[in-house]
Amino acid sequence: MDKHGALTEHELDRTAVSAPPGESVWQRSLHQFYVSRTVGPTLLAILVGFGSGMGAVIFRWLIRSAHQIGFSSAERWLDFLGPGHVVPVPALGGLLVGLLIYYGAQEAKGHGVPEVILAVAAAGGRIRRRVAVIKSLASAICIGSGGSAGREGPIVQIGSSLGSTVGQVLRLPEERIKLLVACGAAGGIAATFNAPIAGVFFALEIILRNFRARAFGFVVLSSVVATAFSRATLGNIPAFRVPTYGLRSIAELPLYIVLGILAALISVLFIRALYAVEDIFEAWPLPAYVKPAIGGLFIGLIGVQFPEVFGVGYGTIEQVLTSQMTFNLCAALILLKLAATSLTIGSGGSGGIFSPSLFMGACLGWVFGDAVHYLFPNWTASPGAYAIVGMGAVFGGAARAPVTAVIILFEMTADYRIIIPLMASVGLSTLISERLCRESIYTLKLRRRGITIGVEEFTDPLMEVTVEQAMTREFPTVPASMPVAELANLLHQSGHHGYPVMDEEGWLTGIVTITDVERAAASGQYDKTVADICTRDVIVCYPDESVSDALRRASPLELGHLPVVDRHQPRKLLGVLRRSDIVGAYARAVATRPAASMSEDERLP
């Protein structure tokens, strides 16, 4: 299929239904089990969820180890520099990261999520197997040595790489590989934040970019398994310890709307600053592996006076949420964290932007909340409430993921009373930031490479049409006893490329194509019967599955002309799914949903 779901000539012109060379019947059966509608994908979702949870735990251990080695060594060997002993640590970490990425995997550079989005959109979900290992090491060193980045982006790429690897090893169709990529992303976010619901919506809203019901169940399962593993290993501890906050008065709501506007401005500033710094570093005529070290040096200089910018910053966020921060420091950290993160990622480091967005949002919200609480102490909540809302609003504006932003903050607070101001601020921030900067912090990286990612690229009209609705019921068959010479004449006169082969009792026994006849003629086997030359190990489809599923299962094996059989009686022929049937089903599906084919600008007034 092309990127809009249309069938290509290559896919439609295949008629031979045979196994790839060297593949046994057992391998074929195992393959079909894993591409089935329920049981196979369920087991794989559980496997990927378990692996993602384990990956998140190992990744956090790697970060702690890198931090302990880097800063403990610096304090011991560079104590003569006083507070300045921290300066070389991010620079040395940046050099190691640069070398790992340059010689290991270029995809590990940056915040990771755009590469996963691109893999789903343009590469059938395929991610190189080495990416998980290189990304784990590079991001752990970068964050552990003081780089200002989050661990969520890397674990998304690590989990997605695991899901992609499982799909590729099992030779699954592209749709199944994409689903496993989303399962890995969901598991990574869920295990990192101890937030299973947020993991699901992150995968659907940002990675798959749709909320198709069939994918939802498998992604949920993976997220739950990853969370269970994380809780069993690390304990059922929330990402942040948040006091109980709520909306004190309905008159407070306009203040949260103002906060949403400010959050939109910060999120757009973050997007533009990140890629401006990236442009500066890319213009420097230096080896690529040296640039993260220079970025790390600048971060070290900032960290001498403001060590809060180092690493993921969860400790600082918790201090902000519990009002253990001064107004001036909190205000300064908004821009300092923005600068440090831009230097880390823009110079070629490895880490995510999720945590920095939450960090800046918390500081922005607390500063705003402290100011309005000073002015209106009787009917406004404490600054911590505004800090929570600010976290969601800045991330929602930067990532254009309002659902994920609302859900993850709701899971962290476990308090429904904050939901109304949270939704108002996040929604407004997303709308304004989208108006000011069309691309999100994730998709802009791809747009700058000339790649446009849109929701319509993930919409497959043939998912909505069953094989039973599209198939041809009355299709001619040939008996197994028919001579090859007679079959050759029949093919020539009818114009068909092949026929289902039936035995004497009327059961499907194989399929014969013009290729089989040509092969028989070349070897002088005209005296044979259809039973001697037909393909007996037939790939079939079922009337209750979607046309897309049938086609996806057949495409990797270069199939196109599929017999339709009863699921409970696999030799009972019900019809045939032909190329013209698929084209007709596609045309009808597109015609019945014109809004889906419209661009966003066309839908908006």
Q: Are residues 162 and 301 in the same domain?
A: no
Q: Bridge partners of 546?
A: 466
* pLDDT band with cut points at 50, 70 and 90 for residue 258: very high
Q: Are residues 309 and 211 in the same domain?
A: no
* pLDDT band with cut points at 50, 70 and 90 for residue 539: confident
pLDDT at 78 over 80: no
Q: Are residues 337 and 446 in the same domain?
A: yes
pLDDT at 290 over 90: yes
Q: Are residues 180 and 275 in the same domain?
A: no
Tell me how far apart the alpha carbons of residues 131 and 137 are, in angstroms, rounded to a whole number. Answer: 10
The answer to whether residues 300 and 86 touch, using CB atoms and an 8 Å cutoff, is yes
The answer to whether residues 142 and 347 touch, using CB atoms and an 8 Å cutoff, is no
3-state secondary structure 493-514: HHCCCEEEEECCCCCEEEEEEH
Higher local confidence (pLDDT), 574 or 84: 574
Q: Which amino acid is at 38?
A: T
Name the residue among 246, 269, 272, 204 with its Cα closest to residue 389: 246
Please check whether residue 598 lies inside any domain of the structure.
no
The answer to whether residues 265 and 434 touch, using CB atoms and an 8 Å cutoff, is no
| Mean pLDDT value of segment 218-236 | 89
pTM value surpassing 0.75:
no
User: How many other CB atoms are found less than 10 A from the CB of residue 284?
Assistant: 12
CATH for 478: 3.10.580.10
Q: Are residues 522 and 403 in the same domain?
A: no
Q: Are residues 378 and 432 in the same domain?
A: yes
pLDDT at 517 over 60: yes
The whole-number pLDDT of residue 467 equals 85
| Overall number of domains in the chain | 3
How would you label 232-250 residue by residue, b for 16+ Cβ within 10 Å and e otherwise?
Answer: eeeeeeebbebeebebbee
The answer to whether residues 57 and 233 touch, using CB atoms and an 8 Å cutoff, is yes
User: How does pLDDT run across 42-53, given as a tens digit for each residue?
Assistant: 888 899 999 999
Please check whether residue 602 lies inside any domain of the structure.
no
The whole-number pLDDT of residue 419 equals 79
How would you label 45-76 residue by residue, b for 16+ Cβ within 10 Å and e otherwise?
Answer: bbbbbbbbbbbbbebbebbeebbeebbeebee
Q: Percentage of the chain with pLDDT > 70?
A: 83
Please check whether residue 368 lies inside any domain of the structure.
yes
Transcribe 46-68 into DSSP letters: HHHHHHHHHHHHHHHHHHHHHHH
CATH for 305: 1.10.3080.10
Average pLDDT, the chain: 81
Strand-pair category, 573-577 with 478-479: unpaired
Tell me how far apart the alpha carbons of residues 552 and 573 are, in angstroms, rounded to a whole number. Answer: 21
The whole-number pLDDT of residue 143 equals 92
Please check whether residue 597 lies inside any domain of the structure.
no
Strand-pair category, 498-502 with 478-479: parallel
The whole-number pLDDT of residue 605 equals 31
Q: Are residues 186 and 258 in the same domain?
A: no
Q: Are residues 17 and 110 in the same domain?
A: no
Please check whether residue 171 lies inside any domain of the structure.
yes
Q: Are residues 275 and 408 in the same domain?
A: yes
| Mean pLDDT value of segment 4-30 | 42
User: How does pLDDT run across 382-428, given as a tens digit for each residue?
Assistant: 888 899 899 999 999 999 888 888 888 777 766 666 778 888 999 99
The whole-number pLDDT of residue 263 equals 96
The whole-number pLDDT of residue 183 equals 93
User: Please, which residues have CB within 8 angstroms of residue 30's CB and are 6 or more apart in sequence?
Assistant: none
> How is residue 492 written in tokens?
């020539």
Transcribe 30-42 into DSSP letters: HHHHHTSSSHHHH
User: How does pLDDT run across 460-492, given as a tens digit for each residue?
Assistant: 566 777 888 888 888 888 999 898 888 888 888
The answer to whether residues 67 and 145 touch, using CB atoms and an 8 Å cutoff, is yes
pLDDT at 364 over 70: yes
Q: Is 95 left (phi over 0), alpha (psi -120 to 50) or beta?
A: alpha
Q: Are residues 500 and 453 in the same domain?
A: no
Last residue of a domain, one of 214, 236, 258: 236
Alpha helices, DSSP H, located in 284-349: 291-305, 314-321, 327-346
The whole-number pLDDT of residue 458 equals 42
* pLDDT band with cut points at 50, 70 and 90 for residue 168: confident
Last residue of a domain, one of 204, 236, 268: 236
Q: Are residues 451 and 397 in the same domain?
A: yes
Residue with tokens 């969860």: 314
> How is residue 78 written in tokens?
């560079």
Please check whether residue 205 lies inside any domain of the structure.
yes
The whole-number pLDDT of residue 257 equals 93
Q: Containing domain of residue 495, as a range?
A: 9-22+462-591
User: How does pLDDT run across 579-588, given as a tens digit for each residue?
Assistant: 777 777 776 7
Transcribe 470-489 into DSSP letters: HSBSS---EETT-BHHHHHH
> How is residue 253 written in tokens?
């709501």
User: How many other CB atoms are found less than 10 A from the CB of residue 493?
Assistant: 8
Q: Percentage of the chain with pLDDT > 90?
A: 30
User: How many other CB atoms are found less than 10 A from the CB of residue 80?
Assistant: 7
The whole-number pLDDT of residue 343 equals 95
Please check whether residue 150 lies inside any domain of the structure.
yes
The whole-number pLDDT of residue 594 equals 42
Per DSSP, the three-state class of 330 is: helix
How would you label 330-354 residue by residue, b for 16+ Cβ within 10 Å and e otherwise?
Answer: bbbbbebbbbbbbbbbbbbbbbbbb
The whole-number pLDDT of residue 229 equals 92
User: How does pLDDT run across 61-77, given as a tens digit for each residue?
Assistant: 999 999 888 888 777 77
pLDDT at 602 over 70: no
Residue with tokens 């990744």: 59
pLDDT at 29 over 90: no
- Range with the poorest average pLDDT among 174-178, 323-327, 351-355, 365-369: 174-178
Tell me how far apart the alpha carbons of residues 24 and 537 are, in angstroms, rounded to a whole number. Answer: 10
Name the residue among 423, 24, 16, 445 with its Cα closest to residue 247: 423
Please check whether residue 328 lies inside any domain of the structure.
yes
Last residue of a domain, one of 457, 491, 509: 457
Q: What angle do CA 411, 414, 419 make, to 5 degrees?
A: 80
Q: Are residues 102 and 127 in the same domain?
A: yes
Per DSSP, the three-state class of 575 is: strand
